[in-house]
Amino acid sequence: MKHIAIAAVLLAGFAAGCAETPESVPESAPAVVVPPTVQAEDKGSVVQASNAFAFNLYANLRGQKGNLFFSPESISTGLSMAWCGARGETAGQMASVLGYRADRPITPEWIAKACGGHLAELFSNPKGYELLAANALWGQKGYPFVPDYLALLKANYGAGLEEADFRGDTEGARKTINVWVEKETRDKIKDLIPPGLLTGETRLVLTNAIYFKGTWAIPFKKDATADGDFFVAAGEKVQAPLMNQTGYFGYYDAGQWKALEMPYKGNELAMVILLPAQVDGLPQMEKDLAAGKVLGDLAANLKMRRIRVTVPRFKTTASILLGKTLAAMGMPLAFDPSKADFSGMNGGNESLCIAEVVHKAFVDVNEEGTEAAAATAVVMRALEGMRMDETPVFRADHPFIFLIRDKASGCILFLGRVVNPKE
C-alpha cells in the first residue's frame, strides 16, 4: 500500500507581542468542514480554477532542468486561505493567478465556501483508498486577528487557531509546526520549515496537509519488471527498471502524443501519463499543455482498450522557491512590502506581505502503487487514431508528463514530468 502526502504551509509575520510556544502538538485538525449550501457550480469553478493554476504554474516552471514534480492542489489551498484575508488589488491579482474568472463577484465568503465545499467533496468517503485533509492556523498569542477571518477559515477549512511564540521562541514554534506536518503526512514530509524561514516578525502560519494511501487497481507483477533503455534525449539513454503488463486501461492516441490512465483501487483517483510520440517531443508537448490543448481532449477521447504497458519505476524529488514565479505570473502586489494588502487578517493594524513561497515534493512509483509527498510554505512578514483490432503499445521509455487526478471532478492533485527515472 503506497502513500501520497501533501502539506501546505502559509506563514504570515508582522511586528507584535509574544507568547509561549505550545509545549505539545495539538490534536489533528478535523477534516474539512462541509458548507451545506455550496452549489455544484461553485465547486466546479474551484476545480476549473485549480487546474488552470496547475498548468499555468507548470508553464512557468518547465524551464528548470531535469525532473519536475509539485502539488497544485496543495499550493492553491494554502494560497486560498491567505487570499481570504487579502483585500483590494492584492486580492484581485491573487484571484487571477489562482485561475478565477473576473466576470463574477468574488468575496472572501464565496472563496472560503466554494473551496471548503470542493475539499470536503474531494476528501469525503473515499472507496478503496485513504484520502484525508487537515488545516490549522498558528498565530501569535494575544495578537488581534480579525474574528470574522478566523471564523471563516474555521467553518470552511476546519482550520482552528493554535497559539505560538514566533518572537520569543522562533525555533520552538518552527519545530512544533514541523512535527504537526510530519504527523498529518504520516512522516512523509519532514522539516518542512527550514531554519531561518521564520523570524521574530512572523505572526501567523497557515498549514494544510493532504494524505493519500492507495494501490493500483491493476498492480504490476514484480517479476515482469526488467532493466531496459530509457531515452533521456535523442541519442542518449540510461538503464532503468521498466514495469510491464497487458490489460485494459483508458487510452488515447492523439498522433503527436498518447495518454494512458491507470486507476488506483476504488477507481476514483488515477494517474494519467502523457507521452510524446517522439523521444525529443516533450518541449513541444509542454507548450501544448500550457496552452490547454492536451487535457481538454482527454475527457472526450479516453477509451478503455487492451494495452501493452511499459512504465519506468521511478522516484524523484523537487524543491522549488515559488515567490518570484508567482509574482511574475501576475500577483506582484502580494510580495510588495509597500503595497500588499492583507488587512482582512488583522483589520489593517499592521501591514503584511508574502516574503517567499517554498515547495517540496517527492514521488515514488512502483509495482504496487504510488508514494508521494509535497509541502508548501508561504512566508509573510511585517513590513519592514489506431485500428481497433490492434493491441496498442504504450511504452514510456522517454521523457513524459504525468498527473494524479480525481476522476469525477477532474481535480489535479499532483503534476510533474520524468526526464530521467534514474535522477
Q: Could you report the per-residue pLDDT of 44-55, keeping only the tens digit for each?
A: 889 999 999 999
SS3 317: strand
Chain centre to alpha carbon of residue 18: 32
pTM for the whole structure: 0.87
Laid out side by side, the sheet with 370-382 consists of 160-164, 130-140, 202-214, 2-13, 370-382, 352-365, 314-321
Q: What b/e string do you get for 169-180 counting C-beta neighbours within 10 Å, with b at 16 or more?
A: bbebbbbbbbeb
**In what helix (H) or strand (E) does residue 173 lie, and over which residues does it extend?**
helix 170-184
Tell the residue number behind the cell numbers 515534493, with chain if given: 361
C-alpha cell recorded at residue 193 = 520549515
Strand ranges (DSSP E) for 82-235? 130-140, 160-164, 202-214, 226-233
Largest CA distance in the chain: 73
Residue 276: per-residue pLDDT: 95
Residue 271: per-residue pLDDT: 94
The full set of domain ranges for the chain reads 2-214+316-382, 222-314+386-418
Residue 30: per-residue pLDDT: 39
Strand ranges (DSSP E) for 383-419? 393-395, 400-406, 412-418
**In what helix (H) or strand (E) does residue 243 lie, and over which residues does it extend?**
strand 236-253
Residue 221, classified by CB atoms within 10 Å of its CB into exposed (0-12), middle (13-18) or buried (19+), is: exposed
Q: Which CATH number fits domain 2-214+316-382: 3.90.550.10, 3.40.50.1370, 3.30.497.10, 2.40.10.10?
A: 3.30.497.10
Fold held by 222-314+386-418:
Alpha-1-antitrypsin; domain 1 (2.30.39)
Cα 51 from Cα 329, distance rounded (Å): 15
41: CB partners within 8 A, 6+ apart? none
What is the β-pairing status of strands 130-140 and 314-321?
unpaired
Sign of the alpha-carbon dihedral angle for 18, 19, 20, 26: negative
2-214+316-382 and 222-314+386-418 have identical folds: no
Q: What residues in the chain have per-residue pLDDT under 70? A: 1-38, 103-104, 382-389
Cα 334 from Cα 74, distance rounded (Å): 19
Do 24 and 72 form a contact (C-beta atoms < 8 A)?
A: no
Residue 292: per-residue pLDDT: 75
Do 399 and 417 form a contact (C-beta atoms < 8 A)?
A: yes
Our separate counts of H helices and E strands in the chain read 10, 16
Residue 333: per-residue pLDDT: 96
Chain centre to alpha carbon of residue 127: 21
Tell the residue number behind the cell numbers 527498471, with chain if given: 241
Residue 22: per-residue pLDDT: 34
Sign of the alpha-carbon dihedral angle for 102, 104, 107, 109: negative
Residue 7: per-residue pLDDT: 52
Cα 361 from Cα 188, distance rounded (Å): 10
